[in-house]
Amino acid sequence: MCGWAMLRAFRPLRADRDAFGREMYDCHFGQRRLPEIVERDDGYISAWSQSGTYFAAFDDWPECEKRAMEFVRGKVLDIGCGAGRHCLYLQDEGLDVLGVDISPLAIEVCKARGVRHTKVMSMSQLTWRMGIFDTILMLGDNFGLVGSVKRGTWLLRRFKGMTGSTGRILAGCNNPYKTTNPVHLEYHEMNRKRGRMPGQIRIRIRYQKCMSEWFDNLLLSPEEMSDLVEGTGWSVNTFIEDKGSLYVAILDKRD
């Protein structure tokens, strides 16, 4: 995941809750870097350092994200901009980009790296009053931050009112079924039994002394993405898939 965008009534993140932001801040300003701990609500825990991903140059991006840049046009809104890697690339290409993130520390990092237009805000705060955009970025698996099918359809309808007649969304997501790990497959089944999407994972992030609140991250197959988009005012233009589970759905506004 590239950045932070929780679907809740907005309030500034407390410093001890801003795990993603602290990790990016430490990476940029040269302090000690520790692994990011991801804890799932079934007790599954993983640990790795993603700091390099947040700051990756274009040549080191996932192939699907590099190819997706060909679909970007006009005025751009980058949701969950993290350390600003997409913003900086598109700025250099001459595009007008606004990066938004719920993490104050992430926005500090963006400004320090040269992102010109930023705002601290949650995804649920986004409205047409911010202006009309041609392209909305939700890359680095950020489409998953919609959290649920219900929230996802609600947000897509809202994004329709924030975009012009040729509006486009670049929706980065992970396919949860591209795994053979029995622990993940058991989690899929547990979700089915409790009436949730198999790939609707509930997690929290730990970094040093910071711990995020629990939040849902929605992993979808391309087929499930197509079903979610139906009836929201958007249609799938194409899917750009990668070697692993990551892909980008190019969504075009439908009249």
**Residue 47: which CATH number?**
3.40.50.150
Is the CB of residue 149 less than 8 Å from the CB of residue 192? Answer: no
Question: Cα separations (Å) of 249 from 4, 71, 174, 206, 254?
Answer: 20, 11, 10, 29, 15
pLDDT for 14 equals 82
Per-residue model confidence (pLDDT) at position 178: 96
Q: Is 147 inside any structural domain?
A: yes
Q: Residue 215 in contact with residue 147, Cβ under 8 Å?
A: yes
**How many H helices and E strands in the chain?**
8, 12
Output the pTM of the full model: 0.91
Residue 60 burial by Cβ neighbours in a 10 Å radius (0-12, 13-18, 19+):
exposed
* Res 11: pLDDT: 60
Q: Which of 122, 118, 73 is closest to 99 using CA atoms?
A: 118
Residue 3 falls within a domain, yes or no? no
| Residue 214 DSSP one-character state | P
pLDDT of residue 111: 98
Quick check: is 95 in a domain? yes
**pLDDT number for residue 12:** 61
Closest residue by Cα to residue 169 from 82, 78, 58: 78
Name the amino acid, one letter, at 101.
D
- Structural domain harbouring 151: 15-253
At residue 43, the pLDDT reads 96
Cβ–Cβ under 8 Å, residues 176 and 221: yes
54 phi, psi to nearest 5 deg: -65, -25
Q: What amino acid is encoded at 64 in this protein?
A: C
CA-to-CA distance for 217 and 213, rounded, in angstroms? 13
Q: Does residue 237 form part of some domain? A: yes
pLDDT of residue 90: 98
Does residue 221 contact residue 134 with C-beta atoms inside 8 Å? no
> CB under 8 Å, gap of 24 or more: what pairs does 84-89 form?
84/109, 84/110, 84/113, 84/114, 84/115, 84/118, 85/2, 85/54, 85/55, 85/56, 85/57, 85/61, 86/2, 86/137, 86/139, 86/140, 87/115, 87/118, 88/113, 88/114, 88/115, 89/58
Based on the structure, what is the number of domains in the chain?
1
Q: Which residues contact 64 (CB under 8 A, 6 or more apart)?
A: 172, 240, 241, 242, 246, 247, 248
Helix (H, G, I), strand (E, B) or coil at 215: strand
> Do the beta carbons of residue 37 and residue 229 sit within 8 Å?
no
Does residue 5 sit within a domain?
Answer: no
Indicate whether 245 belongs to any domain.
yes
Does residue 7 lie in a domain region?
A: no
- Can you list the residues of the chain whose pLDDT is less than 70? 1-12, 31-33, 50-51
Residue 209 domain flag: yes
- Predicted local confidence at residue 35, as pLDDT: 84
Q: What is the model's pLDDT at position 13?
A: 77
